[in-house]
Amino acid sequence: MSEMKDKFGRPLHDLRISVTDRCNFRCRYCMPKEMFGNDFSFMKREQLLSFEEIERVAKIFVSLGIRKIRLTGGEPLLRKDLPVLIDKLMSIHGLEDVALTTNASLLERMAPRLKEAGLHRVNVSLDAINDDVFMTINDAAYKTEMILRGIDKAKEVGLGVKVNMVVKKGMNDHQVIPMATYFKKRGITLRFIEFMDVGTANGWNFRQVMTKKELYDELFKHFALEAVNPAYVGEVAKRYRYVGTNTEVGFITSVSESFCSTCTRARVAADGKLYTCLFASNGLDLKSILRSNSGDEAVRAAIVSTWQNRTDRYSDERTEESAKNKTKIEMSYIGG
């Protein structure tokens, strides 16, 4: 079939699926305790897409040209029997890559089963190497040691591993060089993510964003870096290599150098809503279509029409005002 494009000519290339809105961390920039406290009502099991429903949706997306799926959350490793889902996805003909984004608190234990199920890669989120800083950020008493053991185990069983660090001024900017030093030594790619105004819970403002330029300047004081060409059009991270090594660092510049013009990503939230932008207010209720008596053709037609009518370019147009006033879904719900 010919490639499906949105109103600005952007094709649909990759898909993120959130498998739960729950998390055992309370990262202050994502799920602050004041908003996600003990009385917060997370989705009930029947509200989540079942593994069979996720598999069905994934097959339909693959028939539309998707080749890569990333599972996320909340914390995806909290979803019971996740390897069973991975195994189902891996058997979809035409799907080339299944990856996972995780806080890695359960990775040491889960890595062998994930690998066995066919998972290719994990992106581990870790925002500090210093315990006190890390514990202040995750606000749930998790130490770095557990995460680092998870990373080692994932590598040991043969999973691809990258580490993502959200940098927020005044929170962990002083951890940039210690993190780079630690992961350079181990030959693991570290990617710096600019703090974004996703949702409304995290009190975002421009002054807290450590931009790619600031990060690069700081790194360049300590390391010699050379630019690496993008592997494909629309690659989200801007990549560099430590000179004389094969180890890379990357920057995800969602705020300072937005990349909406090449954004080819769709997202399915844990309750089965389809979003065409991280900063959307509304999504298409795929779950209702899946749970009606409609066949796959109706699901496919709804996805095609949603993508073809897409006009999202939030980051290109972001202002301090839009960041404050727009109604936006939370990161833990849509999954990053």
103 binds ligand SAM (CB under 6 A): yes
Max Cα–Cα distance, the chain, nearest Å:
61
Backbone φ and ψ for 78, nearest 5 degrees, come out as -80, -15
125 binds ligand SAM (CB under 6 A): yes
27 binds ligand SF4 (CB under 6 A): yes
What is the layout of strands, in order, in the sheet containing 14-18? 225-228, 238-242, 248-252, 189-194, 160-167, 121-125, 97-102, 68-72, 14-18, 265-268, 273-275, 284-285
CA distance 233 to 240: 16
Task: Name the residue type at position 143.
Answer: K
Q: How far is the CB of 209 from ligand SAM (least distance, A)?
A: 9
Q: How far is the CB of 176 from ligand SAM (least distance, A)?
A: 15
Q: How far is the CB of 22 from ligand SF4 (least distance, A)?
A: 9
CA distance 309 to 245: 44
x/- mask, ligand SAM, residues 231-270, rule CB under 6 A, reads ----------------------------------------
183 binds ligand SF4 (CB under 6 A): no
267 contacts 254 by C-beta, under 8 angstroms: no
Which residue is it, tokens 């429903």? 53
What does 277 interact with, of ligand SAM, ligand SF4, none (CB < 5 to 8 A by kind)?
Answer: ligand SF4
326 binds ligand SF4 (CB under 6 A): no
23 vs 107, beta carbon nearer ligand SF4: 23
Site for ligand SF4 in 214-243 (CB under 6 A): none
306 contacts 300 by C-beta, under 8 angstroms: no
CA distance 85 to 87: 5
50 SS3 class: coil
Query: Which residue among 142, 240, 279, 333 contacts ligand SF4 (CB under 6 A)?
Result: 279
Backbone φ and ψ for 284, nearest 5 degrees, come out as -85, 130
> Is residue 171 marked as binding?
no
Q: How far is the CB of 153 from ligand SAM (least distance, A)?
A: 16
What does 193 interact with, of ligand SAM, ligand SF4, none (CB < 5 to 8 A by kind)?
Answer: ligand SAM
* CA 216 to chain CA mean position, Å: 22
Return the number of other C-beta atoms located less than 10 Å from residue 211's C-beta. 19
> Is residue 314 marked as binding?
no
169 binds ligand SF4 (CB under 6 A): no
Task: Name the residue type at position 71.
Answer: L
CA distance 33 to 263: 32
User: CA-CA-CA-CA torsion for 195, 144, 74, 111, nearest 10 degrees?
Assistant: 130
113 vs 300, beta carbon nearer ligand SAM: 113
Q: Which residues pair with 275 in a beta bridge?
A: 267
Q: How far is the CB of 334 from ligand SAM (least distance, A)?
A: 8
Site for ligand SAM in 1-40 (CB under 6 A): 23, 29-30
Annotated binding-site residues for [4Fe-4S] cluster read 23, 27, 30, 260, 263, 277
Per CB under 6 A, residues contacting ligand SF4 are 23, 25-27, 30-31, 73-75, 103, 125, 259-260, 263, 277-279, 312-315, 331-332
Annotated binding-site residues for GTP read 16, 70, 101, 162, 265-267
